[in-house]
Amino acid sequence: MSAPTMGDLSATVTALASLMARFPDLPGVAVRITTVYPDLLELAVHDDLAAFEAWREALNIAPEDVLHGVQSGGTTRVLDVHTVLMGVRLRLISFAPIPALAPSLGAGS
């Protein structure tokens, strides 16, 4: 098997360029394109659930398709969803802190 080339990333880069042209006013995200998965475009949102929602709606992804998870010992919420755009696999993922619960007040307080 030969090493991936820049040409192998062409469809993924084209899909990203299309998103930038179609949605120039959406919040910026971390973008990942890699030769390990040349057909995968990953958009990552950090600390901004509203930005994740804006992208989810723009991509016309149903809310029920979003997987919800927790990591980092229950301190980080993870939202993860996959779709296909222009023949490219697209992953939209969000990481956001889970607010700490206020300590409950005892009966005698």
Tens-place pLDDT, residues 47-106: 999 999 999 999 999 999 999 988 887 778 999 999 999 999 999 999 998 887 555 555
**What is the tens place of the pLDDT at every residue in 40-56?**
999 999 999 999 999 99
SS (H, E, C) 58-96: HCCCCHHHCEEEEECCCCEEEEEEEEEECCEEEEEEEEE
Spatial contact of 45 and 95, defined as CB atoms under 8 Å apart: yes
Reported pTM: 0.85
